[in-house]
Structure 1
Amino acid sequence: MEFHPFIEKSSTQEIKAFQEEKLQQLLAYLEGNSPFYQRMFKEKKINVGELRTLEDLQKIPVTTKNDLQQHNHDFFCIPPDKIVDYSTTSGTLGDPVTFGLSDGDLERLAYNEAISFACAGIQKGDVVQMITTIDKRFMAGLAYFLGLRKMGASVVRMGPGIPELQWDSIFRYKPKYLITVPSFLLKMIDYAEKHGLDYKNSSVYGAVCIGESIKNQDFTDNILSQKIKEKWDIKLFSTYASTEMSTAFTECEFQIGGHHHPELIITEILDDEGNIVKEGESGELTITTLGVEAIPLLRFKTGDIVKAHYEACQCGRNTMRLGPVIGRKQQMIKYKGTTLYPPAMNDILNDFNNILCYQIVIQANEIGLDEIIIKLSTDQEHESFVNEVRDHFRAKLRVSPKIEIIDFDILSKTVFNPNSRKPITFIDLR
């Protein structure tokens, strides 16, 4: 089985021609099987036979999360008895959406993760410890397991949390890679230091980091990444994916963005008017899935603001690469004339060693303007520490949010909610 697909090393013209052929197959499939898209094509008088190029995608309306929530059932292209797995999106905003996967979809998911992990350097025979849930209708955990199995790696399914058990497992099974939310690595390091564990000489070479950004836009390490590497000299690889696209963008060893898999997904990056942004500009990632049987999506707006990079990578792949997600479109904050996204605030808060946990709350005040409240737990003298945090915000982002100190036992219960797959560090009450 080849985990460095030939198409990724083909020329950009060959990749485009390949994708256009796949696009025509997808349009014919949707016209034959998708109640939602059949209705759209009819209402908009779209003749799918006339759509031949990637540029022709612009003639088709976009699909939104709202469409998926309101017409969830109409997106299914296969009967219920062909569905072998049900997953839901995490539903950070609004109701979660149900995704069914056919046997073929699970196979595609496994292939996607196998070529993504291969990108990060994982090989047959490597031991990989999964510090992520595989249950609770979570697609990613299942995808990681299937991908590792497909490529012939050995998996230690630990699940999230409990540093003591993670270390026990690391010393017992000697994994080379971990798959984890990166902020949890700080908890593991903290536990190891307090209990005198020789973590610096463990078997761990690298971690594939999910759910949180570890890079700045210029691909330098962000604060979170720096804090991990200062203590523990391991390689950190970014990966970005979502349930809707069933496809991952994972960094190779050169770590300059997550590589696109052209046989699995078509990408467009759109501005607020729905036009393709100029090279070097950021916009909303809009995706068209290829080879999905149960719920294929056409021009689906992910809500993620990203920037694409097109210059050739030294690894030999000629595919587009995505930089770190700048933020979620719906989480954009207009604060006293400044436009902000939560990741920029996370970076500032991660810079403080004395913050035990935090949560950013956005609400509209009486006159309809956005208000930022930072709730945090600290072991420092409160007043001077609050001023220090506020000064840091002013210096870096030119904004001065309201800061509330909250007891760790109370705040940690809402941040590390057992029903959530990652820490809830942002709440939008607008």
Structure 2
Amino acid sequence: MIPAIEKASAIEIKQFQEAKLKELLAYLKERSPYYSALFQRENIAVDLVNTLEDLQKLPVTTKTQLQEHNESFFCVPRHEIIDYATTSGTLGSPVTFGLTDSDLERLAYNEAISFACAGVQKGDVVQLMTTMDRRFMAGLAYFLGLRKLGAGVIRVGAGIPELQWDSIVKYKPKYLVTVPSFLLKLIEYAEQHGIDYKNSGIKGVLCIGESLRNQDFSPTVLTKRITDKWPVQLFSTYASTEMSTAFTECEYFQGGHHHPELIITEVLDDNNNPVVEGESGELTITTLGVEAMPLLRFKTGDIVQLHTESCPCGKNSLRVGPVLGRKQHMIKYKGTTLYPPAMHDLLTYFEGVKSHVIEISTNELGTDEILIKIASDNPSEDLLNQIKDHFRAKLRVSPKIEFIAQDIINKLIFAPMSRKPITFIDKRT
């Protein structure tokens, strides 16, 4: 189920996207209160934007603008909105997104081709270990995509290893959709209760929320810890509410595949200029085919690298490499630049670390301070020193670390109003 445009030449893909871009700009000028006012205020002639390179003539859209002018981004009347979703609010106030019937169909198409990219086929059974409620777009998208693909769906929701294994044993799913670190809890539960998880019939897992690959596509510590015990295929998938589009790995695990018919991608530096090919920068997207709330040059906040060489799977569209981190989460610590994903992965190396939270604050000198709170069944000075030595070896610095009780750390991780586990808290002023 590879869309023809993804197998087209780079020139054909570019020409296709440029035609779609012109359609989008005309739509925004006519229907978007925010963008039509912007074009008029900045004296922007959208008719002169004809190529992808011409995107540089247009201003970017930021999360702050979305938060401050949320209503003005809607291009359709409220009675045409079929579903409401919100962003998670990780980097500020949540933003409301409305979806029309056409937008839901586009979302289903996106997930159908994304699941197919990872090998899911019609008739396969897939267990969803993510929430579908609490205005969470992803859970709904997975369900719609699998339904469009013709796959069976088991909607279990997040957490509860006992219930997950009950469904796996009973319904024999071939694929799972979950946060990868939860797989360690599934393995632990299976080992404690005599479940033969290696012969459970699970072939692959589509993983969200945590990185599976390093920048060179080698497996992270988390990936190795999972697959050393449970030899399943782990597929990385990257998406956001704002994009309404997913970048999912194929069986070659060389980055998330881009769908040219759904989204235009740029990678920009701090001055909003395109980075040199092969360099990392902030992923900036323009959505195609969205009715209710299309976005033009939206800066996602995620630092990534694009890969343009053809993939052995037959697709010629570009691929998005592993997310290095979020721009606003960048930490300057003792002269070293750090991102939370690298620290999360290092902590996964230690089986004695049951759960953790990374807190960033500003010290009396006005610089970044890191405190890692850890829950462990066997806290000890030896474990503490091992962790600090590992940090020094891999990241050149060692942050402050303290042990706290599991019930206390659970209150931080599983905040009542959050849809996702919270493992990073930014308290910087």
TM-score higher than 0.5 here?
A: yes
Q: Equivalences for 1:404-419 in 2 at 5 Å?
A: 404-419=402-417
Match of 2:93 in 1: 95
Q: Equivalences for 1:320-399 in 2 at 5 Å?
A: 320-399=318-397
Please, which of 197, 204, 209 is the counterpart of residue 195 of structure 2?
197
Give the match's secondary structure for 1:374.
strand
Match of 1:164 in 2: 162
Please, which of 269, 272, 275 is the counterpart of residue 271 of structure 1?
269
Match of 2:34 in 1: 36
Structure 1: gaps spanning 5 or more residues: none
Match of 2:126 in 1: 128
* Separation (CA, whole Å) in 2 of partners of 1:205 and 1:293: 36
Give the match's secondary structure for 2:153.
strand
Give the match's secondary structure for 1:249.
strand
8 A contact 1:181–1:422 mirrored in 2: no
Please, which of 82, 85, 96 is the counterpart of residue 83 of structure 2?
85
Q: Equivalences for 1:286-305 in 2 at 5 Å?
A: 286-305=284-303
1:428 aligns with 2:426: yes
Match of 2:183 in 1: 185
Give the match's secondary structure for 2:323.
coil
Letter in 2 for 1:98: T
Letter in 2 for 1:296: P
Give the match's secondary structure for 1:355.
coil
Give the match's secondary structure for 1:110.
helix
* Separation (CA, whole Å) in 1 of partners of 2:34 and 2:410: 42
Report Cα offsets for 1:285-315 as digits up to 9, x if no partner: 0000000000000000000000111111001
1:53 aligns with 2:65: no
Shift of 1:381: 4.3
* Separation (CA, whole Å) in 2 of partners of 1:112 and 1:389: 41
Letter in 2 for 1:204: I
Match of 1:215 in 2: 213
Match of 1:253 in 2: 251
Letter in 1 for 2:64: N
Give the match's secondary structure for 1:287.
strand
Please, which of 147, 150, 161 is the counterpart of residue 149 of structure 1?
147
Match of 1:280 in 2: 278
Shift of 1:420: 2.6
Give the match's secondary structure for 2:82.
strand
Give the match's secondary structure for 2:105.
helix
Please, which of 224, 230, 233 is the counterpart of residue 232 of structure 1?
230
Instruction: State the Cα RMSD in Å.
Output: 0.8
Shift of 1:400: 1.6
Shift of 1:94: 1.3
* Separation (CA, whole Å) in 2 of partners of 1:87 and 1:276: 31
Match of 1:70 in 2: 68
Shift of 1:423: 2.0
Give the match's secondary structure for 2:284.
strand
Shift of 1:90: 0.4
Give the match's secondary structure for 1:111.
helix
CA change 1:381–1:130 in 2 (3 A) is: closer
* Separation (CA, whole Å) in 2 of partners of 1:93 and 1:312: 34
* Separation (CA, whole Å) in 1 of partners of 2:323 and 2:425: 18
Shift of 1:271: 0.5
Report Cα offsets for 1:83-132 as digits up to 9, x if no partner: 00000000012110000000000000000000100100000000000000
* Separation (CA, whole Å) in 2 of partners of 1:31 and 1:364: 43
Give the match's secondary structure for 1:267.
strand
Shift of 1:422: 2.6
Match of 1:117 in 2: 115
Shift of 1:50: 1.0
Shift of 1:421: 2.8
Shift of 1:404: 1.0
Letter in 2 for 1:398: R
Structure 2: gaps spanning 5 or more residues: none
Give the match's secondary structure for 1:40.
helix
TM-score (norm 1): 0.99
Letter in 2 for 1:239: T
Give the match's secondary structure for 2:305.
strand
Please, which moves more after superposition, 104-113 or 43-52? 43-52
8 A contact 1:249–1:259 mirrored in 2: yes
Please, which of 5, 8, 24 is the counterpart of residue 6 of structure 2?
8
Shift of 1:419: 3.5
Give the match's secondary structure for 2:127.
strand
